[in-house]
Amino acid sequence: MRAHNLALVLQTVANSTNQPSRAAVSAATGLTRATVSALVDDLVSGGLLVEVDPPPRTGAGRPAVGLTLTSTGPAGLGLEINVDYLAACVVDLTGAVRQRFVEHADQRPADPAQALAALGALAARARLAAEADGLIVAGAALAVPGLVAGRGLVRVAPNLGWQDIDAVAELHRVPELADLPVTVDNEANLAALGELRVTGGDPTFLYISGEIGIGAGLVLDGELYRGVRGWSGEIGHVTVYPDGRPCRCGSRGCLEQYAGQEALESGEPLAAAALGIALSAVVNLLDVPVIVLGGAYAPIFERLREGIEAELRQRVLTSGLAPVALRPAALGADAAMRGAADAIIRAVREDPAGWLRRSSQRYV
Amino acid sequence: MRAHNLALVLQTVANSTNQPSRAAVSAATGLTRATVSALVDDLVSGGLLVEVDPPPRTGAGRPAVGLTLTSTGPAGLGLEINVDYLAACVVDLTGAVRQRFVEHADQRPADPAQALAALGALAARARLAAEADGLIVAGAALAVPGLVAGRGLVRVAPNLGWQDIDAVAELHRVPELADLPVTVDNEANLAALGELRVTGGDPTFLYISGEIGIGAGLVLDGELYRGVRGWSGEIGHVTVYPDGRPCRCGSRGCLEQYAGQEALESGEPLAAAALGIALSAVVNLLDVPVIVLGGAYAPIFERLREGIEAELRQRVLTSGLAPVALRPAALGADAAMRGAADAIIRAVREDPAGWLRRSSQRYV
């Protein structure tokens, strides 16, 4: 009950547009002022909330002290490995990005252990910089362009040439990360979740992420749809031309061969048409009203838009009844690592009691 | 609370493999024997449950009277209009089919009012026959091969040539149906729901229904996924060959043009390949582990299987990690009208208090 109420108070402060007083939190939650005060004391002493001076007020009464999320407490470390870059960021409890490192380099020549060691070094830099800045990194989440099977095992990442790689174990070899909880997820899934939380708008959309490979994250009614084995969203391997170009995956005519980053450089109109064909299949199957273009598609969105829309108009059965909205990702190319960091922060915000317990054990 | 407990008792009897006594229902539900007895009395006098003599038993104690669903109470009228047939069936509370009428005739030359009048006549025959047999038809559900927009409006049924048809109003013109609650839904959606309840097995599958047109019903975690506007499952208009045959919908290369019933007659291998291409897209996007082939595909399942599986092996990224199971629909070509009738029965079973209230008003 206390754990539930701690989360309720923390979320109430987090979701406020101003800096609410204890009395305002009491009114919003229905908890008594005494209960709220005790919970707020715990959240303040545990380093999750801070008290701020009220703005000077004219008029009667003493203005109350406001509450806000701390910018020096727990933080999330978001990591991404993709075919041509490594990235790490640290996001604090308020959602602000506090550290951001991106290293462009082709990862395909490296073996998985080398690539993850390089990412681990970047992650260690980000963590140390964040902790020098007063933050406590609560955990890390890693975004990978491939299929993940629970507990950090990357089953297949076709464009990296990875198979059955224990990414968590590799990251834990880096001394500065050895004590850190690490989770792994598909990059498009994390990017879609990042997009969902940042925009807070459409509850149902497809997020499509264009890199060397192409992935998608499907958000249905505000929830990421992962599929039965967690392997949904492999839109890069949807066939657009059945007898078309051979793909690394062993099939032919995959979307990736026409609209992946390498194909994109040589022919945007062909890429837009191929995207339009594959996205029409998504809309016909799922009646998804919004498509968000992320990764490499975000900066060239306006150049792809018309070609995609032409295919949607022709190929979506209901296009005459209700148009499909296309938009670029709000988080741009950082969506996956931001979504990863956000997953850590979200876990703290949803279970502050767990965080207080773990952090008191750590620092006793 | 009484409404909830009535439903609980009814469902407990319905889901029993034997004919449970009042004591057994009390044990299964956690309700007191006195409460169960009062609720059972209401369900018996309301014509939803019947008491049956226990089997003769050797041994001590007087054997208890068993309970079972009535086969003379409320029933569901399932209706289907498709391009080349009309169909009606009546299913009783136990799920048994009590009446079944199918009329083969091309509906495309008829205008919507004529077609629905003919279906209404068939429905009236089914209703009268069922009521002569001691059943009370609680409502009707109509399966249509098209897009439905709430309250019985068929927005588009491309293969029937329908647009914005108020199917409920048309059916209500038939005097024998004028008092009957009627709902309308997409045929593949109803068929998928019928399949889900009859097999009771896989919680996540795609049901694909081959008629003149092709529709799909997507069941995710035991729930039909309808899409934001209720227009999911239009797999017949997923592009398989971007520059292929023109389709009635205005697009080119739609699955329907290669694997719809008319195409099927002239080339099963081509149909199987086209189905395999479209179904691979579904599995890549949604990680659906089971595909159920219904409608015209069910009887020729074995002839299509190999061709579809060859495409899935080539085109599904995860086919090497976990195969996709293909199977024919358990309900065969009747799936949509059975699913429609079942929707009515299910509503009675989930809210027996509502049924008792309505039927007492009707027969006072």
| Neighbouring C-beta atoms of residue A269, cutoff 10 Å | 11
pLDDT at position B364: 41
Q: Which two tokens stand for residue A21?
A: 């007083």
Residues of A with Cβ-Cβ distance to B220 under 8 angstroms: 225
Closest CA to B343 of B218, B208, B187: B187
The arrangement of secondary structure in B2-69, i.e. its CATH architecture, is Orthogonal Bundle (1.10)
- Residue B41: pLDDT above 50? yes
Topology at the third CATH level for domain B199-334: Nucleotidyltransferase; domain 5 (3.30.420)
Residues of A with Cβ-Cβ distance to B225 under 8 angstroms: 220, 286
Residues of A with Cβ-Cβ distance to B158 under 8 angstroms: 317
pLDDT at position A149: 87
pLDDT at position A64: 81
The CA–CA distances, whole Å, from B341 to A238, B89, B172 equal: 36, 7, 18
| Arithmetic mean of pLDDT, B1-27 | 93
**What one-letter code names the amino acid at B267?**
G
Q: Which two tokens stand for residue A161?
A: 């040439």
Q: Where are the domains of chain A?
A: 2-69, 74-189+338-363, 199-334
| Arithmetic mean of pLDDT, B353-360 | 88
Helix (H, G, I), strand (E, B) or coil at B358: helix
- CB contact at 8 A, B155 and B149: yes
pLDDT at position B60: 66
Helix (H, G, I), strand (E, B) or coil at A187: helix
Helices (H), chain B: 2-15, 22-29, 33-45, 112-132, 167-172, 187-199, 256-259, 261-266, 268-286, 301-315, 335-350, 352-363
CB contact under 8 A, A156 and B280: no
- Residue A63: pLDDT above 80? no
- The side-by-side arrangement of strands in the sheet containing B205-210 is B223-224, B214-220, B205-210, B290-295, B325-328
Task: Compare all CA atoms of chain B with the CA of A225 and give the residue at the minimum distance.
Answer: B286
Residue % of chain A over a pLDDT of 70: 97
* pLDDT interval class at A55 (50, 70, 90): low
CB contact under 8 A, B234 and A318: yes
* pLDDT interval class at A53 (50, 70, 90): confident
Q: Which of A148, A239, A288 to mutate to test the interface with B (most CBs of B within 10 A)?
A: A239
Residues of B with Cβ-Cβ distance to A209 under 8 angstroms: none
**Domains B74-189+337-363 and B199-334 equal at CATH topology level:** yes
Selecting from A227, A281, A282 the residue whose C-beta is nearest the C-beta of B287 gives A227
Residue % of chain B over a pLDDT of 90: 78
Place domain A74-189+338-363 in its CATH homologous superfamily.
Answer: ATPase, nucleotide binding domain (3.30.420.40)
Q: Using CA atoms, how far apart are residues A38 and A357, in angstroms rounded to an integer?
A: 16
pLDDT tens-digit profile of A119-128? 999 999 999 9
- Residue A111: pLDDT above 70? yes
- CB contact at 8 A, A193 and A343: yes
| Arithmetic mean of pLDDT, B185-194 | 94
Residues of A with Cβ-Cβ distance to B284 under 8 angstroms: 234-235, 237-238
CB contact under 8 A, A285 and B235: yes
Residues 6+ apart with CB under 8 A from A196: A205, A219, A222, A224
* pLDDT interval class at B360 (50, 70, 90): confident
pLDDT tens-digit profile of B158-189? 889 999 999 999 999 999 999 999 999 999 99
Task: Compare all CA atoms of chain A with the CA of B310 and give the residue at the minimum distance.
Answer: A251
Distance from CA of B298 to the nearest CA of A (A): 21
CB contact under 8 A, B321 and A241: no
pLDDT at position B55: 66
* pLDDT interval class at A201 (50, 70, 90): confident
Average predicted confidence (pLDDT) for chain B:
92
- Residue B58: pLDDT above 80? no
Residues of A with Cβ-Cβ distance to B281 under 8 angstroms: 238-239, 278, 281, 285
Selecting from A235, A285, A316 the residue whose C-beta is nearest the C-beta of B233 gives A285
Q: Which of A279, A287, A290 to mutate to test the interface with B (most CBs of B within 10 A)?
A: A287
pLDDT at position B56: 67
* pLDDT interval class at A188 (50, 70, 90): very high
Distance from CA of A360 to the nearest CA of B (A): 39
* pLDDT interval class at B199 (50, 70, 90): confident
DSSP state of A105: -
Q: Which of A258, A280, A285 to mutate to test the interface with B (most CBs of B within 10 A)?
A: A285
CB contact under 8 A, B156 and A317: yes
Size of interface A-B (CB pairs under 8 A): 140
pLDDT at position A57: 64
| Arithmetic mean of pLDDT, A139-161 | 90
- Residue B15: pLDDT above 70? yes
pLDDT at position A364: 41
Selecting from B228, B238, B251 the residue whose C-beta is nearest the C-beta of A285 gives B238
* pLDDT interval class at B152 (50, 70, 90): confident
Average predicted confidence (pLDDT) for chain A:
92
Selecting from B230, B251, B282 the residue whose C-beta is nearest the C-beta of A285 gives B282
CATH match of B74-189+337-363 with 3.30.420.40: yes
Q: Using CA atoms, how far apart are residues A90 and B120, in angstroms rounded to an integer?
A: 65
Distance from CA of A227 to the nearest CA of B (A): 5
Helices (H), A200-255: none
Question: Which range is least confidently modeled, A232-246, B146-160, B297-311?
Answer: B146-160
